[in-house]
Amino acid sequence: MKVKTKLKSLFTWSTEELVLIGTFAALIKIVTLTVSLVGGGMNPATLLLKNIVATAMLVVLIHKVPRAGVLVLYVLQQAIIMMMLMGSGIMILPGYLLAAIFAETLAFLVGGYRNTAAIILGVAFYDLASRVISMGMSWLFMRENMALFFVALGIVGVGYIGCLIGLGTGIKFVKEFRHAGFIRR
Amino acid sequence: MIRLENVNYNYPFQPDAALKNVNLQVKQGEAILITGRSGCGKSTLGRLINGLIPTYFSGSLNGKVHIAGSSQHSFHDLTRLVGSLFQDPEQQFLSTTVADELRTALEWRGCTSEEIDRVLDPIVAQLGLEHKLDSSLFTLSEGEKQKVALASILALKPQILMLDEPTANLDIHSTGELLSILTTLKQEGMTIVIFDHRLYWLRALIDRCYLMQGGTITETRQFSDLEGLRQDFGLRSTKQATLSVPPLTVGQMSRPSGLYFDSLSFAYNGQSPLFNNFNGGFPQGKVVAICGKNGRGKTTLARIAMGLEKPSRGKISIHGKDLPSKKRLQQSGLVLQNTELQLYMRSVTEELQSTVGKGLNPTDIDTTLEQFQLTGLQQRHPQSLSGGQRQRLVIACALQKRPDVLILDEPTSGLDGYNMEIVGQHVKTEAKRGAAIALITHDHEFINNCCDYVWNL
Amino acid sequence: MLALSGAKSNPKPFSQWMGKLDIRIKVLTMFVLSLSLIFLKNPVGLAFLGVLSTICLFSLGKYRLMGIIYLILVITWMLSQGFTMLLGLFVPAMKEQTVLQTIIPFLRMWPLINMALTVALSMEIGGALIALKKMRLPRLIYLPVMVALRFIPGFINDMKQLRDCLLIRGISLNLLALISHPNRTLRLLVVPMVIRALRLADELAIAAELKRVGYGEGLKTEKARLRWCDSTFFVAAMLALVVAWNIPGYEVESGMMSSINKPQTQGHMESGQQ
């Protein structure tokens, strides 16, 4: 009975929570796209910045909506937005969803999203797993040209360094948003 | 229709009560006004009436709230009984086109297409929106946006209509139109609750006024009594202000002092020119009100002056010197409407210091904060302040820079009478110091209060 | 980007036609195309799809954007060529890569980028919202996506305002500022944006609650049916794919193995076995 109630609560979300997830999915997409367009997608500074910002915002989102399933919903929303507006993203959705589910499980095992360390671990794992999956997809597209694959690997590597920095930046932002009264937990 | 009995309410994590022992009774077909200083609890009372408290905003609520004869309505029923119109109608749009926005709420209540058309057709005709149905919501004027928001509320046939500062972004003409719509609705039996600082437009509509202070209703008066209570409650004038300020003449826009546009031409991409070989400016030491309908280029002119838009032709000078945009930006101040995008620091003190480097000592900061009624907020995060407090802080920051030219875009939206006086005094002091000041505003009361000239674009 | 900015700048007839296409058809086409491109190795077939999709993108009239994207593709290819040579110094097998091998991934990306841009540039947010509503997705998915799409145009405008407000305060966010004051620049970039987003989310949530979007009796409006133009687009895209798979061409080996450039008369048989 308890399991049934818990499963039911997993699918019951308030409007406020759903709207926050949708808003952040769009926000992160717009900001990363803008940083890429303004900074020129390939230079390391832009790559770092883009990933720092995206990860930091994701950390803020999970602090705002600290409940199981938030990462999965966020990934799903981002994929749908990308599909609807940019015609892309459908191929990577299953892999990203899988990465999000594993990350959520990991966060749950280390204490759940009420615990900041679990949030950090979950996001760090999601960022890593989703990149590994992206590289798998890249290999399928670039398998004839391994040099290109290694270039992509380098780009993803720099991006992940950005994600790791973003975790720390995210915590800093969370502190500030607490001071401003936007995060209350 | 509305009955509140001994209502007390605390927001979550807030030690002080937002509403204290509130009692209120409104009959069907009545129109009431709830007013008072910024932060007195008006918005909270509104959230209580439309059911957002306690459904959306949790917290602790005591007392009885009867709406349309019952205190047991579900939130779903309340959203149908009480229609809420916000200060910025864009806040309540969930679609991007007029027709889709009007249909949304009905569609989610399970109406078929035929039923929706039957309900919407007369409302669309009543509000004159027939030709706007296919338009994008983002291209409408403020008055039109408000009509769309109102139409989508009326489509649900509410018994109570609640309006939160409905005229804050409207010009005189659109305010008149809104008044006429509300008068008709009242005659048809609609109960109307208005929360507003601007009072002049309500004289013919309002049956009774409730004055709030510190989360409680302290006075219940007739509209005609409000003028005498202005000082005590920090109210705006109840009388329609006729402009008593002279128009700016060509002679007063003299080139040697102040800001001057010389043969200015400007057009947005693919649109007809807003300015064509335009000459004019704002004189030093004077306050000029820039008026005119929406879309005439008032804000664009301010942006050109600051170097945020590049004119296709023409020169812009400050105190007789033709200056490039970067220099103009250094010597000027511009306060835009959206205050939350103009505050960046971690505390109010840091925010003030950031405008002048580290040149401000703690005494200067305390004095400035006192002048703008912000005492005690030094360590607060600027984004945690109320709308009125943010507005005053942004203006205080712009004045700290001691600019040669200062432009304020709609500085009185959301300000009560008391704070409007404070802003007006500072604007006049800054002009006396020698700055050329321009105020983009529709607010006649404010113009009469502190402007030397009016410039109709 | 038209879809993101919500702007309307006299769209061309093809763009209008593409804009009216059902979102489900676009997603399905992109999915089949992406999947096919993974397995399709024949450079002639890939080039055929590339040319066709370029014609589609060209019809939208966004020549400057096309130029920039293609330039980036060429630069990336040159970068990978340089990297191949560099790796060749340490890994002898890398030296054996032919030019054709290095080009194939780009030929694969070419039609994909073209189609993604064609879909993006012809999409309007209003249309996407209506399509979404007619798909009758569960509230859990519908509500956040609807809010996200509604949020985008207003937020882009807010970002422009934020840039202006920072300039007024004498702060410019550029690469130099990021390098010299990384923490400050990052904070100035992110904090006001997130705060604006949090406030907007609050407003949108209240609006959605008051309109009871996603609750109540549910939608009774008609489900969208696929129209003639939707089917035409999908059939045309699938025909192009079939032709691309059947074009006689070359088979190129994967990875660092040497390529086998053997002419085929029945290329489709080889391709079909891959």
C185-198 pLDDT per residue, tens:
888 888 888 998 99
- C180 and C257 both lie in a single domain: no
C-alpha neighbours within 13 Å on the C-beta side of residue B415: 26
Task: Compute CA distances B106 → B59, B110, B331, whole Å.
Answer: 30, 7, 53
Mark whether C104 and C30 lie in a shared domain. Answer: yes
Check whether A23 has a pLDDT greater than 90: yes
Looking at the partner chain, which of B103, B109, B354 has a beta carbon nearest the beta carbon of C212? B109
DSSP state of B136: B
pLDDT at residue C228 is higher than 80: no
Query: In chain C, which among 7-26 make CB contacts under 8 A with chain A?
Result: 23, 26
Q: What CA dihedral angle connects B425, B429, B434 and B438, to 10 degrees?
A: -10
What was the pLDDT predicted at A10?
Answer: 73
Q: Range of A98's domain?
A: 2-179
Report the pLDDT value the prediction gives residue C269, as an integer from 0 to 100.
35
Phi-psi region of B280 (alpha: psi -120 to 50; beta: other; left: phi over 0): left
User: Hey, are the CB atoms on C148 and A26 less than 8 Å from each other?
Assistant: yes
Range with top average pLDDT, A131-135, B251-255, C258-262: A131-135
pLDDT of residue B29: 92
Q: Which residue of A has its CA nearest to C2?
A: A85
Q: Residue C274: is its pLDDT beyond 50?
A: no
**Chain B residues whose beta carbon lies within 8 Å of the beta carbon of residue A184:** 12-13
List Cα–Cα distances, A135 to A102, A138, B114, in angstroms.
Answer: 18, 5, 52
**pLDDT range class, residue C272, cuts 50, 70, 90:** very low
Q: Angle at which helices C99-122 and C13-20 pack, to 10 degrees?
A: 80
Q: Is B235 helix (H, G, I), strand (E, B) or coil?
A: coil
The rounded distance, in Å, linking the Cα atoms of C189 and C162 is 9
Q: Do the Cβ atoms of A184 and B383 come within 8 Å? A: no
* B-chain residues near C154 (CB < 8 A): 90, 138
Count up the domains in chain C and report the number: 2
Return the pLDDT at C1.
38
> Is the pLDDT reported for residue C266 higher than 50?
no
User: Domain check: are B296 and B225 in the same one?
Assistant: no
Domain boundary among B199, B233, B267: B233
Question: Could B381 and A16 be called an inter-chain contact, meaning their C-beta atoms sit closer than 8 Å?
Answer: no
Q: Is residue B250 part of a domain?
A: no
Q: What pLDDT score was predicted for residue C2? A: 36
The CATH number linked to B379 is 3.40.50.300
Of A176, A182, A184, the CB nearest to B346: A176
A179 and B13 in contact by Cβ < 8 A?
A: no
Q: Taking residues A43-72, report their average pLDDT.
A: 91
CB of C126 within 8 A of CB of B93? no
Q: Is residue A184 part of a domain?
A: no
Does residue B218 belong to any structural domain of this protein? Answer: yes
Does B263 share its domain with B227?
Answer: no
Q: Which residues of B touch C188 (CB under 8 A)?
A: 344
Q: Residue A130 falls within a domain, yes or no?
A: yes
Residue A162 contacts by C-beta under 8 Å, 6 or more apart in sequence? A47, A48, A49, A50, A51, A52, A55
What is the pLDDT confidence band of residue C95, given thresholds at 50, 70 and 90? low
Rounded Cα–Cα distance for residues A41 and C72 (Å): 9
Q: Which of A146, A161, A167 to mutate to test the interface with C (most CBs of C within 10 A)?
A: A146
Of the partner residues B107, B329, B336, the one whose CB lies closest to the CB of residue C221: B107
CA distance B162 to B164: 7
**One domain, residues C119 and C27:** yes
Residue B14's beta-bridge partner residues?
none
Residue for token digits 């947005």?
B268
Task: Kindly identify which residue of chain A lies nearest to residue B345, measuring between CA atoms.
Answer: A176
State whether A84 and C141 contact (CB < 8 Å): no
CB interface of C with A, residues 191-250, below 8 Å: 191, 193-195, 197-198, 200-202, 204-205, 208-209, 213-214
Residues C81 and C179 in one domain: no
pLDDT confidence of residue B26? 93
DSSP assignment of B261-307 equals EEEEEE--TTS--SEEEEEEEE-TT-EEEEE--TTSSHHHHHHHHHT
Looking at the structure, do residues B135 and B187 belong to the same domain, yes or no? yes
User: For residue B238, which of B229, B247, B246, B249 has the smallest C-alpha distance?
Assistant: B229
- A41 vs B155 pLDDT, higher one: B155
- Asked whether residue A108 is assigned to any structural domain, the reply reads yes
Is the pLDDT assigned to residue A177 strictly greater than 50? yes
Q: In this structure, are C27 and C105 located in the same domain?
A: yes
Q: Report the mean per-residue pLDDT for chain C.
A: 74
**Interface contact C262, partner B, CB < 8 A:** no
Helix A93-109 vs helix A70-86: angle between axes, to the nearest 10 degrees? Answer: 160
User: Whole-angstrom Cα distance, residue C118 to residue C99?
Assistant: 29
Residues 218-247 on C with a CB inside 8 Å of B are 218-222
Return the pLDDT at C80. 74
Which tokens hold the place of A159? Answer: 């991006």
Report phi then psi at B423, rounded to 5: -60, -45
Distance of CA B253 to the CA centre of its chain: 30
State the best of C77, C110, C140, C157 to mutate against chain A, taking most chain A CBs within 10 Å: C140
- Band (pLDDT 50/70/90 cuts) for residue C97 is low
The fraction of chain C above a pLDDT of 70, given in percent, is 72
More confident residue, C234 or B210: B210
Of A24-33, B218-227, C16-25, least confident by mean pLDDT is: C16-25
Q: Note whether residue B254 is domain-resident.
A: no
- DSSP 8-state class, residue B219: E
Arithmetic mean of pLDDT over chain A: 86
Task: Please tell me which residue of chain B has the smallest CA distance to C125.
Answer: B96
In this complex, do C6 and B52 lie within 8 Å of one another by their Cβ atoms?
no
Q: Specify the residue for token string 């609705």.
A: B185
Task: Count the neighbouring beta carbons within 10 Å of the beta carbon of residue B297.
Answer: 19
Interhelix angle A116-142/C23-39, rounded to 10 degrees, is 60
Closest by CA position to A15, among listed C206, C59, B200 = C206
Q: Which residues, numbered 137 to 166 in chain C, qualify as contacts with chain B under a Cβ-Cβ cut-off of 8 Å?
A: 146-147, 150, 153-154, 158, 161-162, 164-166
Total domains in the fold of chain B: 2
ipTM of the complex: 0.86
Q: Residue A81: what pLDDT?
A: 81
Q: Indicate whether C222 belongs to any domain.
A: no
How far apart are alpha carbons A157 and B373 in whole angstroms?
52
Q: Assess whether pLDDT exceeds 60 at residue C6.
A: no
**Angle (CA) C249 C255 C256, round 5°:** 110
Contact of A184 with B13, CB cutoff 8 Å: yes
**Residues A164, A169, A171, A177, Cα dihedral to 10°:** -150
pLDDT attached to residue B190: 93
The CA distance from C11 to C121, in Å, is 10
Q: Residues C161, C92: one domain?
A: no
Look at C164 and B109 and tell me if their CB atoms are within 8 Å. Answer: no
Lookup: tokens for B79: 């959203």
Record: contact C116-A150, CB cut-off 8 A:
no
Same domain, C196 and C239: no
Question: Whose CA is closest to B126, among B100, B153, B86?
Answer: B153
The answer to whether residues C150 and C36 belong to one domain is: no
Q: Which of B12, B13, B381 sits opposite A179 (nearest CB)?
A: B381
Helices (H) and strands (E) in chain B, counts: 15, 18
Tell me if C192 is assigned to some domain: yes
Does residue C215 carry a pLDDT above 70? no
Q: Residue A148: which of C108, C34, C32 has the closest Cα? A: C108
What residues of chain C lie within 8 A of the CB of B341, using their CB?
158, 161-162, 165, 192, 196
Residue B248 inside a domain? The answer is: no
B249 in a structural domain:
no
* Interface contact A180-B12, CB threshold 8 A: no
Q: What is the mean pLDDT of residues A52-66?
A: 95
Nearest-angstrom CA–CA distance, B111 and B307: 51
**What is d(CA C178, CA C183) in angstroms, rounded to the nearest whole number?**
8
pLDDT tops 50 at residue C28: yes
Chain A, nearest residue to C32 by Cα: A91
Q: Which domain holds residue C165?
A: 137-211
Domain count within chain A = 1
Residue B255's pLDDT is: 59
Residue C3 pLDDT grade (very low, low, confident, very high; cuts 50, 70, 90): very low
B243 falls within a domain: no
Is residue C72 domain-resident? yes
CB pairs under 8 A between A and C: 208
User: pTM for the whole thing?
Assistant: 0.81
- Count, in order, helices (H) and strands (E) of chain A: 7, 0
Q: Could you count the other beta carbons within 10 Å of the beta carbon of residue B382?
A: 26
- Please name the helix (run of DSSP H) or strand (run of DSSP E) that holds residue B335, with its range, or none: strand B332-335
Set of chain C residues whose Cβ sits within 8 Å of the Cβ of B303: 164
Q: Which CATH number belongs to the domain containing residue A66 in this structure?
A: 1.10.1760
| Nearest-Cα residue of chain C relative to residue A73 | C141
Q: Are residues C20 and C113 in the same domain?
A: yes
How far apart CA A117 and CA C187 sit, in angstroms, is: 22
The answer to whether A23 contacts C253, with C-beta atoms less than 8 Å apart, is no
Q: What is the pLDDT of residues C135-178, one digit of tens each?
A: 777 888 888 888 888 888 788 888 888 888 888 888 877 777 77
Q: Does A23 touch chain C (CB under 8 A)?
A: yes
List residues in chain B touching A: CB distance below 8 A: 12-13, 56, 346, 381, 383-384
Across the beta sheet with B332-335, the strand order is B332-335, B405-409, B436-440, B287-291, B453-456
Question: Would residue B87 count as lying in a domain?
Answer: yes
Omega of the bond leading into B311 within 30 degrees of 0 (cis): no
Chain B within 8 Å of A184 (Cβ-Cβ)? yes
Q: How far apart are the CA of A90 and the nearest CA of chain C, in angstroms?
A: 6
Total Cβ atoms within 10 A of residue A40 = 12
> Could you tell me the pLDDT band of residue C86, with boundaries at 50, 70 and 90?
confident
Q: Within a domain: residue C216?
A: no
Please identify every stretch of chain B with a pLDDT value under 50, giving residue numbers as ranges. none
The encoded tokens of residue C232 equal 């035409």
β strands within B185-274, DSSP E: 191-195, 208-213, 216-221, 259-266
Whether A113 is covered by a domain: the verdict is yes
Establish if A185 belongs to a structural domain: no
Work out the burial of residue A42: count CB atoms within 10 Å of its CB; fewer than 13 is exposed, 13-18 middle, 19 or more buried. Answer: middle
Same domain, B161 and B283: no
Domain region containing B341: 259-456
**Paired tokens of B202:** 């309500």
Query: Is some CB atom of chain B closer than 8 A to the CB atom of C171?
Result: yes
Integer CA distances (angstroms), B97 to B77, B135, B139, B181, C124, in order: 26, 6, 10, 22, 11
- B270 and B220 assigned to the same domain: no
Both C103 and C161 in one domain: the answer is no
With CA atoms as reference, report the closest residue to B341 among C164, C21, C56: C164
Is 60 exceeded by the pLDDT of residue C236? Answer: yes
| B219 and B292 inside one domain | no
Instruction: Determine the pLDDT at residue B240.
Output: 82
CB B323 within 8 A of CB B316: yes
Residue in chain A closest to C141 (alpha carbons) equals A77
Per DSSP, helices labelled H in B109-255 are: 113-126, 142-154, 172-187, 230-233
For residue A127, give Cα distances in angstroms to A25, A27, A58, A63, A156: 15, 18, 10, 17, 10
Q: In what order do the strands lie in the sheet with B2-10?
A: B19-26, B2-10, B60-67
SS3 C9: coil
CA distance C57 to chain B (A): 23
The set of chains that have 3 or more CB pairs under 8 A with C is A, B
* Start-to-end Cα distance in chain B: 46
- Do residues C18 and C114 both lie within one domain? yes
Indicate the Cα dihedral angle A56, A58, A63, A69, nearest 10°. Answer: -160
Each residue's pLDDT tens digit, A77-90: 888 888 776 666 67
Residue A127 located in a structural domain: yes
DSSP class of residue C160 equals H
Give residue C216's pLDDT band: very low, low, confident or very high (50, 70, 90). low
Looking at the fold, whether B203 and B114 belong to one and the same domain comes out as yes
Q: Name the minimum distance, in Å, from the CA of B283 to any CA of chain A.
A: 39
